[in-house]
Amino acid sequence: MKADTRILSIIVPCYNEEKSVPLFYAETVKQETFFHEKDVEFEFIFVDDGSKDGTVDAVRALREKDNRVHLVSFSRNFGKEAAIIAGLEKAAGDFTVLMDADLQDPPAILPEMYRYIEEGYDSVATRRVDRKGEPPIRSFFARRFYGLMRKISKTEIVDGARDYRLMTRQVTDAILAMKEYNRFSKGIFGWVGFRTKWIEYENVQRVAGETKWSFWKLFVYSLDGIMAFSTAPLSIASVFGILFCLVAFVFMIFIFVRALIYGDPVAGWPSMMCIISLIGGVQLLCLGIMGQYMSKMYMEVKDRPKYLVKDEF
C-alpha cells in the first residue's frame, strides 16, 4: 500500500443474507479497477444483524480469500439502524459507503458517486425514481409519509431516498456524533447537512432471499421517524384545546340566551353524551401521543447499548 492510499469502507448490514453476501462481494470488487487508479483501497465491513442462516459463514469464507473483509456479528437482531451505526463505528476508511447486501444498491454507480466526492461534495446520496415491483398500497403509504414529514419536520427527508450513500470522514464523524438511541437514518443524514449530491436510479429487485420489511414493520418505522424528527404531534393537544375552548364558549352563550328566551326544559341528553365522548376521545388521543414521546424518552434515558457484539474480525 502506498503512503497516500486512501480507504473506502463499504458497510453492509446483513440479516439472513447467506445467498446475497457472496454475490454482493463478487459484484462490488468489479468496481475496484476504477478505484485502484485513484489510489483508493476497499475495506468490507459486513454487519451480521443476528442472522439465523449461514450469513456469518459466508463472510468467513470471503475473509479466507480476502483479509480486507471484516465482520461485526450481533448477539441478536437489533435492526438495520443498529447495523448501520455498528458498521460506521468500525469503519477505518477516509470514505464510507452504506450498501444493502441484496444488490438493490447497484455497485456499478460507485465510480460516479466517487467522482462527485472528488468534485468537492461531502456526501453523495441516492434515491429511487420509481417503486417498481413494490405493492401499490406500500407505495401509497410511503408517499403519504414523506408528504406528512415535509410538512411537520424541519429536517429534509427525501422521498425514495435510500440508505445507499457515500460520505467523507467528516460526514461520517458527524453521524457518529449523533448518539440517539432511536435512530432514523434518513432523518439523521438530512439533519447533519453538508453538501450533498443526489443521484437517481431505477428500482432494482433484490438478487436473493426476501425483504425483511413487512407492511407493519414499515408502518412502525415511519412512526419512529416522525417522532424522532418532529414534535408537531405534541402540539395536537394544544390545538384541540384551543379549538374546544372556543366551541365551548360559543355554545355557552347560545345555551344561556336560549334559556333566557325559552326557559329551561330538560333535554339534550344525547348531545351531551356525544360531546363528553368526543372530548374524552380527544383527551385520550393526546395522552397517547405524549405517552409515545415519553416511551422514546424512557429508552433514551436508559442509555442501553445500541447493539451487542458476539463476534468480530
Residues at the site binding Mg ion, with contacts judged by CB under 5 A: 100, 102, 104, 206
C-alpha cell at 281: 376521545
Q: Shortest gap between Cβ of 19 and Mg ion (angstroms)?
A: 13
Q: Which does 83 bind (CB under 5 to 8 A by kind): Mg ion, ligand UDP, none?
A: ligand UDP
Answer for which of 45, 56, 71, 83 binds ligand UDP (CB under 6 A) is 83
Helix (H) or strand (E) segment spanning residue 292 = helix 269-302
User: Which residue from 67, 62, 70 is spatially nearest to 10, judged by alpha carbons?
Assistant: 70
Site for ligand UDP in 169-208 (CB under 6 A): 206
Residue 279 burial by CB count (10 A; 0-12/13-18/19+): exposed, middle or buried?
Answer: middle
- Cα–Cα–Cα angle for 136, 138, 140, rounded to 5 degrees: 70
Answer for which of 5, 75, 170, 211 binds ligand UDP (CB under 6 A) is 211
The span from the CA of 174 to the CA of 158, in Å, is 19
Q: Shortest gap between Cβ of 213 and ligand UDP (angstroms)?
A: 5
Q: What SS3 state is found at 249? A: helix
The span from the CA of 117 to the CA of 137, in Å, is 36
Q: Count how many residues are written for the chain.
A: 313
Nearer to ligand UDP, 47 or 286 (CB): 47
- What is the total count of residues that contact ligand UDP (CB under 6 A)? 17
Per-residue x/- track, 90-109, ligand UDP (CB under 6 A): ----------xxx-x-----
Q: Which does 79 bind (CB under 5 to 8 A by kind): ligand UDP, Mg ion, none?
A: ligand UDP
The span from the CA of 162 to the CA of 158, in Å, is 9
The partner residues of 126 in beta bridges, in order of sequence, read 199
Q: Which does 226 bind (CB under 5 to 8 A by kind): ligand UDP, Mg ion, none?
A: none
Q: Which does 157 bind (CB under 5 to 8 A by kind): ligand UDP, Mg ion, none?
A: none
Nearer to ligand UDP, 215 or 254 (CB): 215
Answer for which of 63, 115, 169, 212 binds ligand UDP (CB under 6 A) is 212
Question: Pseudo-torsion of CA 197, 203, 208, 210, nearest 10°?
Answer: 100
18 contributes a contact to ligand UDP by CB under 6 A: no
C-alpha cell at 200: 437517481
The span from the CA of 99 to the CA of 102, in Å, is 9
**Residues in touch with ligand UDP (CB under 6 A):** 13-15, 17, 49, 77, 79-80, 83, 100-102, 104, 206, 211-213
